[in-house]
Structure 1
């Protein structure tokens, strides 16, 4: 895909997408972290005025990425539903309509902390739900960043962003962060926010700009 970057981890080639997702070509698998369906609905249920349409935006992007990559499966790294209010009728109707149009996709959710409060997706969505760690070949998929003795870890949860600053101006961008034993994916969901991260000297940092993934070298991060 345009603007994507390929990296190697545990002997596997992985594709980092500007849309804040990862594609594993050998398995035809999209990996998505922290989509947080129903977060806006949860805020509105508590009387906080927030934008509408984030569920549709997320689902449309999943459709686009699945078609563009030829993915046959999607793996969600936790926080599929934001809270119990995410089970609102409108959110569930949108998810079911999307699922009917994409019944050929195998969907798997690695439970995250929000999933424990929101509850698993309804069985009618046909999503396989597993606990972390979830190992496939040399890769270990989790929600919470952690080390694992049997594979290279890919995690969500943090919603990593990196702050670029120059001449008094600053910009925060979602990012992928890869270390020697594991990596973190940016939050995929619209309206999810981000947490600034500080990479170690030998970590690889990839900014997810709107139309391309850009590796920011140690020199670009101000490190010798």
Structure 2
């Protein structure tokens, strides 16, 4: 178990088929026995999608979401990361994604 999880109370853990799974407050799931991090519904470029329709959201959503995932990776050091889906907010999100964010995603 990593130091990041050492102070968590046991009742916040799940036991499934004899395996320990840890729901993370950031929204992910950690499977320490496999060093596997599961994330979903990241919705990269949600703010730019809304902005294109005249609805303003702060334009920092992609950077903030990446920072959370990067922090989890640094703390947990997973061997594998699984993104279950809804990584991009819409079909054109990848086209709007700034290159510096794309580089950070590739680095994960």
Shorter-chain TM-score range: 0.7 to 0.9
In 1: Cα distance, 2:54 partner to 2:76 partner: 39
Q: Note the residue ranges of structure 1 that are not aligned, 5 or more in a row.
A: 103-224
1:96 aligns with 2:88: no
Q: TM-score, with normalisation over the residues of structure 2?
A: 0.81
- What is aligned with 1:63? 70
Q: Cα gap change, 1:93/1:3 in structure 2, threshold over 3 Å: closer, same or farther?
A: farther
User: CA-to-partner distance for each residue in 1:112-145, whole Å, 9 max, x for gaps?
Assistant: xxxxxxxxxxxxxxxxxxxxxxxxxxxxxxxxxx
Correspondence 1:146-165 to 2 at 5 A: none
Asked whether the equivalents of residues 45 and 85 of structure 1 are also in contact (C-alpha less than 8 Å), the reply is: no
User: CA-to-partner distance for each residue in 1:28-74, whole Å, 9 max, x for gaps?
Assistant: 11111211111111111111111111100011111110111121221
Q: Which runs of 4+ in 1 moved over 3 A?
A: 99-102
- Give 3-state SS (helix, strand or coil) of 1:84's partner: coil
Asked whether the equivalents of residues 42 and 88 of structure 2 are also in contact (C-alpha less than 8 Å), the reply is: yes
Asked whether the equivalents of residues 35 and 81 of structure 1 are also in contact (C-alpha less than 8 Å), the reply is: yes
- Which residue, out of 21, 29, 36, partners 1:29? 36
Q: Cα gap change, 1:41/1:98 in structure 2, threshold over 3 Å: closer, same or farther?
A: same
Greater helix content: 2
- What is aligned with 1:201? none
Q: Note the residue ranges of structure 2 that are not aligned, 5 or more in a row.
A: none
Larger radius of gyration between Structure 1 and Structure 2: 1
Q: Which has the higher contact order (CA 8 A, sep 6+)?
A: 2
- Which residue, out of 82, 94, 99, partners 1:75? 82
1:7 aligns with 2:14: yes
Give the aligned length: 101
